[in-house]
C-alpha cells in the first residue's frame, strides 16, 4: 500500500507532518490537499489543534471521521462549532496569531512567494483573465504565523518571474528583512508545494529554492516547468513518501470520497 499513493495524497501527508499540536489551522475553500492535511494532522497527532473553517472554530479530534466538505460552503459544519464568528470577529483579534497556520493558492506565484488572485493582463480594467479576487489572503498573509503556498499546477504559466498583480505579499522583492522592513508582522510563506516538488525560500535572499522532488519526478522536469530560475541545491532528495498508517487514516477517516485519488 505504501507504494500506491496519488500525488495529492503525498502532498496532503507532507503538509500534515508540518503541522504541530496546539496550532490553529485556518482552511479556505477549493483546497482539497490542505483540507485533507489539517484533518489528518488533527486525528493523528493534533488533539489540541483547532480548525477554523467558514467561521466555525472547532476541535473535532474525537470524531471517528472528519470528512472533507462535499462542496464548498457546506454550513452543516456549524454543528461542531465550539464558537462561531462572522468575519469581523475572526479579524477582530490578529495579535497572537503566531501559532496560526494558513494555506494559500494563486493563479500566479513569483520567486519570492508573492501570489496573485486578482488577474492577468497589463490593463487592470481589461484583464485577459479576471481572477476570483483576493478573498482574505492579504490580511491572513500579513498576520498569520506562517503559511504554505499550495498549487494544483506546476507550470511556467503559474510560477512566473513577476506576477501581473500581487494580492498577498510573501517575501516582496526578496531579502531576509523583506517583511520586517515593511512592518508586515507574520512569518510569511514557509514552503510552496506543487504536484511536482516542494520548494522553500533561501534564508538570505528569500528566493524560492528546490527542497525535494516527488518520487518519479526529475529535477530537470521541475526546472522546465518553472517559469523562473529556481535555486537548485547540489543534492535534491525525494519528497518523503506517506507511511501506510498515514494513508490508512487519510483514506478511511478523512478522504472517504477519494477526492485526492481522482
Partner 1 sequence: MNTKRRERIIDEVEAASWISDGMTIAIGQPTPMAVVRQIIRRKLKNLTVVDSGFSLDLLIAAGCVRKVVSYYAGGGFGTPVTPSFRRAAERGEIEVWECEEGILTTGLQAAAQALPFLPWRGGVGTSLPEVNRDLKVFTDPISGETLIAVPPINVDVAILHAAVADAFGNVQHFGGPGWIDLFMARAADRTIVQVEKIVANEEIRADPWKTTVPGADAIVRAPFGAHPFYSRGYYVQDNEHLRQYNDAAGSAAAGDGKALTAFIERYCRAPATHADYLELIGVKRLLSLHEY
Q: Give the footprint of partner 1 on this chain (CB under 8 A).
A: 29-30, 55, 71-76, 78-79, 81, 84-88, 91, 94, 107, 118-119, 121, 124-143, 165-169, 172, 182-185
Say if CB 127 and CB 119 are below 8 A apart. yes
Q: How far is the CB of 228 from partner 1 (least distance, A)?
A: 19
CB of 132 to partner 1, least distance (A): 4
Q: Minimum distance between the CB of residue 193 and partner 1, rounded to whole angstroms?
A: 18
What values do phi and psi take at 149, rounded to 5? -90, 120
92 vs 220, beta carbon nearer partner 1: 92
- E strands, the chain, are 24-26, 50-53, 56-58, 83-84, 100-104, 108-109, 115-116, 119-120, 129-130, 146-150, 189-193, 197-201, 208-213
**Rounded distance between C-alpha atoms, residue 53 and residue 184, angstroms:** 24
Q: How far is the CB of 108 from partner 1 (least distance, A)?
A: 11
| Selection from 46, 48, 51, 60 nearest residue 17 by Cα | 46
Q: Which is nearer to partner 1, 26 or 209 (CB)?
A: 26
Q: Please, which residue, 89 or 243, has the CB nearer to partner 1?
A: 89
Nearest distance in Å: CB 200, partner 1: 21
Q: Least CB distance from residue 197 to partner 1, whole Å?
A: 22
Q: Which is nearer to partner 1, 28 or 46 (CB)?
A: 28
Residue 22: left (phi > 0), alpha (psi -120 to 50), or beta? left
| Residue 80 or 228 with smaller CB distance to partner 1 | 80
User: Exposed (0-12), middle (13-18) or buried (19+): which is 68, by Cβ within 10 Å?
Assistant: middle
**C-alpha distances out from residue 113 to 51, 108, 165, 222, 238, Å:** 24, 9, 13, 17, 22
116 vs 226, beta carbon nearer partner 1:
116
Amino acid at each position: 500500500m505504501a507504494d500506491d499513493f496519488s500525488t495529492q495524497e503525498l502532498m496532503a501527508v507532507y503538509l500534515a507532518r508540518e503541522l504541530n499540536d496546539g496550532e490553529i489551522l485556518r482552511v479556505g475553500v477549493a483546497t482539497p490537499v490542505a483540507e485533507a492535511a489539517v484533518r489528518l494532522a488533527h486525528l493523528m497527532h493534533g488533539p489540541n489543534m483547532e480548525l477554523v473553517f467558514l467561521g466555525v472554530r472547532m476541535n473535532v479530534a474525537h470524531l471517528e471521521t472528519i470528512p472533507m466538505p462535499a462542496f464548498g460552503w457546506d454550513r452543516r459544519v456549524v454543528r461542531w462549532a465550539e464558537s462561531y464568528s462572522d468575519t469581523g470577529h475572526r479579524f477582530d483579534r490578529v495579535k497572537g496569531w503566531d501559532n496560526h497556520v494558513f494555506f494559500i493558492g494563486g493563479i500566479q506565484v513569483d520567486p519570492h512567494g508573492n501570489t496573485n488572485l486578482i488577474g492577468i493582463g497589463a490593463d487592470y480594467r481589461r484583464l485577459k483573465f479576471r481572477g476570483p479576487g483576493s478573498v482574505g489572503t492579504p490580511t491572513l498573509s500579513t498576520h498569520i504565523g506562517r503559511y504554505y503556498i499550495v498549487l494544483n499546477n506546476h507550470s511556467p504559466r503559474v510560477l512566473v518571474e513577476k506576477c501581473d498583480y500581487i494580492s498577498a505579499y510573501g517575501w516582496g522583492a526578496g531579502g531576509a528583512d523583506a517583511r520586517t522592513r515593511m512592518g508586515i508582522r507574520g512569518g510569511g510563506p514557509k514552503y510552496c508545494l506543487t504536484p511536482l516538488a516542494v520548494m522553500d525560500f533561501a534564508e538570505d535572499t528569500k528566493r524560492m529554492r528546490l527542497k525535494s522532488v516527488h518520487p518519479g519526478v526529475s529535477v530537470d522536469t521541475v526546472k522546465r516547468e518553472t517559469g523562473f530560475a529556481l535555486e537548485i541545491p547540489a543534492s535534491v532528495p525525494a519528497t518523503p513518501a506517506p507511511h501506510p498508517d498515514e494513508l490508512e487514516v487519510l483514506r478511511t477517516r478523512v478522504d472517504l470520497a477519494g477526492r485526492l485519488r481522482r
